Structure 1
Amino acid sequence: MKSYLITDPSFYGSSRDSLESSLNAVLSKTIPDFALFRDKQTSDYPILAQSFIRVCRSYGISKVLLHGDYTLAKGLGADGVHLTGTQFDEIAEAKKQGLYVVISTHTHDEALKAQELGADAITYSPIFFSPAKGEPKGLEDLKEIVDKIRVPIFALGGITACEQINAVSTTGAYGFASIRYFIP
């Protein structure tokens, strides 16, 4: 099962030093297959994204992605972009840029739409309880969507322990994505 680290400024900070220090602490314990720099608050996103990419590359992470901006992802040499659930119309352009495209989905219809539009993978959430993310979908719903589509699915939402990862693995999901699981 693939692992997908997602950053959040509340755990990684919003300065270059705090981001690099926190990221090094996390990656010295476990190296995910995918890593996403996600910070919706900072005005220094491009500068922090450069540091994020550099640190992730130094650990050999397979796919390093930036959040929401495929032009910046391409310009900074990231492997791909993670688009939000309001950016379905940007999948084709991101793919034309040669980027690996992940998009956030929360319904079966969105997952099917992502597949039709050519996304490389999706996150599907929330699977378990996650603060302020709505009613959990649960493992049965995850299994249903995994059986319905061909696009790799990362289960997301409330995955903080090995028991949840093991439960997700029984559904046939491609992997899991998390913020809090990776925090030391």
Structure 2
Amino acid sequence: MLLEILAITDDQYHVKELASKIMQIQNYVDYIHIREKSKTARELLTLLELLQESGVPKRKIVVHDRLDVALVTGIENIHLPGHGLTINRVREKFPFMRIGCSVHSYEEARKSEQDGVDYVMYGHVFETNCKAGLAPRGLEELHKIKERLSIPVFAIGGITPDRMNEIKVDGIAVMSGIFSAENPAEAARDYSEKCKEMTTHGKIL
């Protein structure tokens, strides 16, 4: 099984520049998670329209929190933050959607699975500038979640290609490692090549 890569936007670029960066990396990642908290609904709509006009498949796009924007643009992947809409309510009203959520413990992950989520994202696993001053949660709880849940588990936080061998889950989520890189496409390609290398050498079971 090939480790999946989810690239998360970092809310640092204007719409057109961000769209350009996403188009450059789209062939190296499995999902692009649009996490742009400072942008208005109209700006998000413009971004998603640019991506669709440029041929980025809808199946690759994940909308963070903004269910309204996802529905208007026909995106079926939604990621719910802890403070957002409840999994139960979204699942009840929109059973066709692929729903993910962020968790920070095994208990949260188990509850999310019971509520009907399609995948969980656990972190932060390693030290990262995105969570400066906060101690990483490490790998033990992550691997416990993977072992006990039946849904896909993604890891996030400080994950570099060099550290991917330590992670035994279904996928990784990367923000600064791609979008803060001098060359996002090259960075995304490095993650992609590492995934293929790990699969070839039997690291991923």
For the superposition of Structure 1 and Structure 2, which TM-score range results when normalised by the shorter chain? 0.7 to 0.9
1:182/1:62 Cα in 2 relative to 1: closer, same or farther (>3 Å)? farther
Q: Aligned to 1:65, which of 62, 68, 79?
A: 62
Where does the alignment leave 5 or more consecutive residues of structure 1 unmatched? none
Q: Output the TM-score relative to the length of structure 2.
A: 0.75
State the structure with bigger RCO (CA 8 A, min sep 6), 1 or 2: 2
Aligned to 1:49: 48
- Determine helix, strand or coil for the equivalent of 2:165: helix
Bigger Cα Rg:
2
Residue 101 of structure 1 and its aligned partner are, at CA, apart by 0.4
**Cα distance in 1 between the residues matched to 2:103 and 2:126:** 15
Q: Could you tell me which amino acid in structure 1 is paired with residue 34 of structure 2?
A: F
Aligned to 1:7: 9
- Determine helix, strand or coil for the equivalent of 1:35: strand
Does the aligned pair in 2 maintain the 1:35–1:61 contact within 8 Å?
no
**What pairs with 1:106-121 in structure 2 (closer than 5 Å)?**
106-121=104-119
1:86/1:51 Cα in 2 relative to 1: closer, same or farther (>3 Å)? same
- Determine helix, strand or coil for the equivalent of 2:79: strand
**Cα distance in 2 between the residues matched to 1:54 and 1:156:** 29
- How many aligned residue pairs are there? 172
1:52/1:64 Cα in 2 relative to 1: closer, same or farther (>3 Å)? same
- Determine helix, strand or coil for the equivalent of 2:28: coil
Does the aligned pair in 2 maintain the 1:70–1:80 contact within 8 Å?
no
Aligned to 2:138: 138
Q: Output the TM-score relative to the length of structure 1.
A: 0.83
Q: Deviations over 1:118-149 (max 9, x none)?
A: 00001001011122522211122211121122
**Cα distance in 2 between the residues matched to 1:61 and 1:166:** 30
Residue 46 of structure 1 and its aligned partner are, at CA, apart by 2.7
1:148 aligns with 2:148: yes
Residue 62 of structure 1 and its aligned partner are, at CA, apart by 4.0
C-alpha RMSD of the superposition: 2.0
Residue 77 of structure 1 and its aligned partner are, at CA, apart by 0.9
Aligned to 1:31: 28
Identity of aligned residues (%): 26
Does the aligned pair in 1 maintain the 2:78–2:97 contact within 8 Å?
yes
1:174/1:19 Cα in 2 relative to 1: closer, same or farther (>3 Å)? same
Q: Could you tell me which amino acid in structure 2 is paired with residue 40 of structure 1?
A: K
